[in-house]
Amino acid sequence: MYRGIEERARALYDPWAQESSDDLEGVMLLELDELEHVFEIDIDVFRFKYDPPSLVPIRRSAYKHDDVLHVLLLHGCHFCYIKDIDKCLWMSKML
């Protein structure tokens, strides 16, 4: 039905965004449960700790779906996608 993940994500995002506020300024940490349900994906959130350098989990999913999205919480409602969690963990130990 969908040629790529981007089209599937867009098809799922559009109805969700219409139900959300018109001024979508990002996603709050408390909204991730709803996003997991809508997008049928588990979401783990990490933050970067500087001393010693490491990634610290601040939200772990209940793992109800086949796919897991790993993100880094930058601040507030701004997240950064972690493409390779193992590489990211390794790199944080190298700093």
Residue 80 falls inside a structural domain: yes
Residue 52 falls inside a structural domain: yes
Residue 63 falls inside a structural domain: yes
Q: State the pLDDT at residue 25.
A: 67
Q: In total, how many domains does the chain have?
A: 1
Range of the domain at 83: 26-94
3-state DSSP of the chain: CCCCHHHHHHHHHHHHHHHCCCCCCCCCHHHHHHHHHHHCCEEEEEEEEECCEEEEEEECCCCCCCCEEEEEEEECCEEEECCCHHHHHHHHHHC
Across the chain, mean pLDDT equals: 78
Q: How does pLDDT run across 12-40, given as a tens digit for each residue?
A: 677 766 665 556 567 888 889 988 888 88
First-to-last CA distance in the chain?
A: 43
Residue 18 falls inside a structural domain: no
Residue 47 falls inside a structural domain: yes
- pTM of whole model > 0.85? no
